[in-house]
Amino acid sequence: MVFMDAIHYHVLSEGQIVKKVVYIAIGIDLDGRKDVLGMWVGENESAKYWATVLNSLKNRGIDDIFIACTDNLTGFSAAIEAIFPRTEVQNCIIHQLRNSSKYVSYKDIKELMKDLKAVYGAVDEQSALDALDNSCRSFSGMHPRIAETVPCVKGKMNGGRPPSLTCVPISACMLIERSTEPTAHEIRIMP
């Protein structure tokens, strides 16, 4: 399993504060060992740069990725599938929740998160669909785009697995942010 996410930093470069992106890939092997596969610095986050990162990983000897957990950046899944065609791409649960909440007013966030917890915490697909249906009914008048953002319905959360398998929420950003937190204030981009 490989977790891929980018962290945005303001850094001092050549006497000016500029935005930089650190692309991070963390892998967990079949024995459960976690390794930082690499960190790359770029100007902004893009699927094109992620394709470069993925090619770098392939050139360094990674033959296949079983599951890739990403933030659902436009074009990212296509880049993964082009380089590692047998990889199951799964969207990060935190990014999905953030994506769903951007369509809701602040006063409704708590209720939405409670409803989505029932969707993502369901024991099987039918329970998840029932919870989603209940949530959509309560939010449909005020926030009709909510159902579109919940990936179980679109088949993205569970990577298109058969309906008998449930959505398993995985978070890329939490793992990466926890891994980089102690050194985040020490990162400097050298010319």
CATH code of the domain covering residue 78: 3.30.420.10
* Judgement on whether residues 106 and 144 belong to the same structural domain of the protein: yes
User: How many structural domains does the chain have?
Assistant: 2
- Answer yes or no: is 147 within a domain: yes
- Answer yes or no: is 162 within a domain: no
* Judgement on whether residues 76 and 15 belong to the same structural domain of the protein: yes
Rounded distance between C-alpha atoms, residue 164 and residue 51, angstroms? 32
- pLDDT given for residue 123 in this prediction: 75
Rounded distance between C-alpha atoms, residue 81 and residue 88, angstroms? 8
Confidence (pTM): 0.67
- pLDDT given for residue 161 in this prediction: 45
pLDDT tens-digit profile, the chain (191 residues): 898 988 888 888 888 999 988 899 999 888 888 888 999 999 888 999 999 999 999 999 999 998 888 887 889 899 999 999 999 888 777 767 777 777 777 887 787 778 777 777 777 777 777 877 777 666 666 666 665 665 544 444 444 443 333 344 454 455 555 555 555 455 555 44
The per-residue pLDDT for range 122-140, each reduced to its tens digit, is 777 777 778 777 776 666 6
Domain that holds residue 13: 2-92+170-186
* Judgement on whether residues 86 and 136 belong to the same structural domain of the protein: no
* Judgement on whether residues 83 and 101 belong to the same structural domain of the protein: no
* Judgement on whether residues 81 and 148 belong to the same structural domain of the protein: no
C-alpha separations of 160 from 51, 87, 155, 166 in Å? 22, 12, 5, 10
C-alpha separations of 115 from 27, 62, 79, 143 in Å? 31, 39, 32, 13
- Answer yes or no: is 56 within a domain: yes
- pLDDT given for residue 132 in this prediction: 73
Q: Across the chain, which distance is largest between two alpha carbons, in Å?
A: 57
Token output for 79: 């880049």
* Judgement on whether residues 59 and 48 belong to the same structural domain of the protein: yes
* Judgement on whether residues 113 and 174 belong to the same structural domain of the protein: no
- Answer yes or no: is 159 within a domain: no
Please check whether residue 25 is in contact with residue 31, taking contact to mean a CB–CB distance below 8 angstroms.
no
Rounded distance between C-alpha atoms, residue 58 and residue 8, angstroms? 25
* Judgement on whether residues 71 and 106 belong to the same structural domain of the protein: no
